[in-house]
Amino acid sequence: MYVVTPYPNTAYALDLSKPGPSIKWKFDPNPSPQAIGKACCDAVIRGWAYADGKLIYNMLDDHTVAVDAATGKQAWRTAMDDVKHGVTLTQSAFVADGKVFVGNSGGEMGVNGWLAALDVATGKELWRAHAVGSDKDVRIDNTFKPYYDWMKGKDLGINTWPSGAWDTGAGASWGFVSYDEKTKTLYYGTSNPGPRVPVQRPGDNLWTSAMFARDPETGMAKWAYQFTPHDQWDYDGVNEAVLLDMPINGKMRHTLVHFDRNTYAYTIDRNTGEVLLANNFAYQNWSTGFDMKTGRPTVDPAREPKPGVKIDRVCPPDIGQKDWEPPAFNPNTGLLYVGVFNICMGLTDHEVSYIAGTPYDGMEMERFSVDGPDGNWGGLIAWDPAHGKKIWEVPEKFMVMSGVIATASNLIFYGTTDGWFRAVDAWTGKVLWSQKLGSGIIGQPITYMGPDHRQYVAVAAGVGGAAMVQKDRPGFLPRGNTIYVFSVDGDTIQTAADTAPTPVGAVAAQQ
């Protein structure tokens, strides 16, 4: 098992064939401490990739590193940007087609967003595509075919902005990347426009809060779709794209499903960018509807920020009713399982000036439950992506910010930020098992077959980042740095040599 920590981005290899387990090797990359002061949203990391015997991941100080998975020795390290500009790397590196794909963070720092491709073998940069700027910078040419007319035109990454504003317009690519091997297409999203004060950047602000489909070999854009034109609430568009082939209205379609922070669940034709379904998966009040003909949401003017004017209730808040945490798909049920929030914000904007390497923000807010002071802050939902509707929900007192994992035995595992790790029935949502851990959970669970040929589920307990908006709520559990491993088969497990068997669901490994 390989584990990479948040800053200082230390990597560990754990030998699961040994009781305990034992640490096989440890890699200390020693990133620059300057990165801590430039990270907008905590010193987090969202995962790592494996390819050709290498563990590949991003470091907060703008380097991507490859480590020999057998020895823990560095294979290569590539500088991607300069933290002095406010750029950091928190994204999970993604490998496909012999390349490593890396995107930047720093949308609140006025950076210019990008996604780059590196060679897996050497770390050499092969291409880089920006989210804003000229068609050349964005890697758009005459093969670019967006579905909707309002996204057709020349240099829209400049012309949908006030003069010069695009250069500090953000569009960071800090979320997850997906890949369709059959069509050789990458899918990924871009962040909010900068600054977060909308009156300073009138226009649609393309290509922020959007999704790109790109050729992984050349980086050229195939199509794009903007989820929240002129994003006024920091909704971003970086959440994952789940690639599913399924019938929509009686016709088999090659789709991607995206749960946006703006609270619309999109089912999109992944070959063309056409929106097939757009439905709310949780409560929102910023939009009064969705125009399927134009592919645009309709904005409620009462929720539009104006400098110095407080809006008491905008739902969802900046972090959405779902953030970057991935859902899970169960092909037996045909459902997606999604950790969600149930929150709103009070909002006040003020105009700001750009200073390189400092926050370019201007949004002040407080978050609270949709249902009042004693209301729930989150839950787990089962979503039917072929019909755009919620099937069931497990309400939770705190935000569900872990990812979700599904097993072939129709179990769904997830964690809560008050420390509960649960297994529920994929068909009904019935909670089958819960274990209180030593910290809240925002890590993605995994499941694997151990060296003993038994199935396990593992999760990292620990909180940070956006989870800290709950820090003043009684019951919030902000501890961490523990990996918990549980048996899935219902039998007892052994935690260390010469110890007695422990009860079902007991901790098998802590490190």
**Residue 507: Cβ within 10 Å count:** 16
CA distances from 506 to 377, 403, 502, 509 (A): 28, 21, 6, 9
Determine which one of 61, 81, 108, 204 is catalytic. 108
Q: What is the pLDDT of residue 67?
A: 99
User: Is this structure's pTM higher than 0.85?
Assistant: yes
Find all residues with CB under 8 Å of 326, minimum gap 6, and list them.
176, 240, 403, 404, 444
Q: What is the pLDDT of residue 439?
A: 93
Q: What is the pLDDT of residue 40?
A: 85
HSE (side-chain half, CA atoms, 13 Å) at 246: 24
Is 234 designated active site?
A: yes
- CA-to-CA distance for 242 and 254, rounded, in angstroms? 11
Q: What is the pLDDT of residue 492?
A: 57
Res 508 pLDDT > 50: no
Determine which one of 62, 137, 231, 234 is catalytic. 234
In the chain, where are the structural domains located?
1-485
CA 210 to chain centre: 14
Query: Counting beta carbons within 10 angstroms of the beta carbon of residue 398, is it exposed (0 to 12), middle (13 to 18) or buried (19 or more)?
Result: buried
**Alpha-carbon Rg of the chain, whole angstroms?**
22
Q: What is the DSSP track for 212-273?
A: EEE-TTT--EEEEEESSTT-SS---S-S--EEEEEEETTEEEEEEEEE-TTSEEEEEETTT-
Q: Say whether 94 sits in a helix, a strand or coil.
A: strand
- CA-to-CA distance for 405 and 411, rounded, in angstroms? 8
- Secondary element (H or E) of residue 348: strand 343-349
Q: What is the DSSP track for 140-162?
A: --TT---SSGGG-SSSHHHHTSS
- Residue closest to 93 by CA, chosen among 82, 74, 80, 108: 80
- CA-to-CA distance for 91 and 483, rounded, in angstroms? 21
Q: What is the pLDDT of the chain when averaged over all its residues?
A: 94
| pLDDT tens readout for residues 35-85 | 998 898 889 999 999 999 999 999 999 999 999 999 999 999 999 999 999
Q: What is the pLDDT of residue 478?
A: 87
Mean pLDDT over 353-365 rounds to 94
Q: What is the pLDDT of residue 505?
A: 33
- CA-to-CA distance for 204 and 225, rounded, in angstroms? 12
| pLDDT tens readout for residues 403-439 | 999 999 999 999 999 999 999 999 999 999 999 999 9
| pLDDT tens readout for residues 458-488 | 999 999 888 889 988 989 888 878 999 999 9
Torsion of Cα atoms, 215 then 216 then 221 then 223, to 10°? 60
Q: What is the pLDDT of residue 416?
A: 96
Res 503 pLDDT > 70: no
Q: What is the pLDDT of residue 71?
A: 98
Q: For Cα atoms 202, 203, 205, give the angle at the middle one, nearest 5 degrees.
A: 110
| Per-residue confidence band for 373, with pLDDT thresholds at 50, 70 and 90 | confident
Two tokens at 416? 């809560």
Q: What is the pLDDT of residue 489?
A: 86
| pLDDT tens readout for residues 41-55 | 889 999 999 999 999
Mean pLDDT over 17-29 rounds to 91
Find all residues with CB under 8 Å of 150, minimum gap 6, and list them.
204, 294, 296
- CA-to-CA distance for 89 and 4, rounded, in angstroms? 14
Determine which one of 192, 239, 262, 342 is catalytic. 192
Res 511 pLDDT > 70: no
- CA-to-CA distance for 185 and 189, rounded, in angstroms? 14
Q: Which CATH superfamily is domain 1-485 in?
A: Quinoprotein alcohol dehydrogenase-like superfamily (2.140.10.10)
Q: What is the pLDDT of residue 18?
A: 83
| pLDDT tens readout for residues 214-231 | 999 999 999 999 999 999
- CA-to-CA distance for 236 and 188, rounded, in angstroms? 12
Q: What is the pLDDT of residue 504?
A: 28
Is 108 designated active site?
A: yes
| pLDDT tens readout for residues 292-322 | 999 999 999 999 999 999 999 999 999 999 9
Q: What is the DSSP track for 166-201?
A: GGG-B----S--EEETTTTEEEEE---BSSS-GGGS
Do 100 and 117 touch, CB atoms closer than 8 A?
A: yes
Q: What is the pLDDT of residue 479?
A: 84
Mean pLDDT over 351-373 rounds to 94
Do 165 and 96 touch, CB atoms closer than 8 A?
A: no
Res 490 pLDDT > 80: no
Q: What is the pLDDT of residue 19?
A: 78
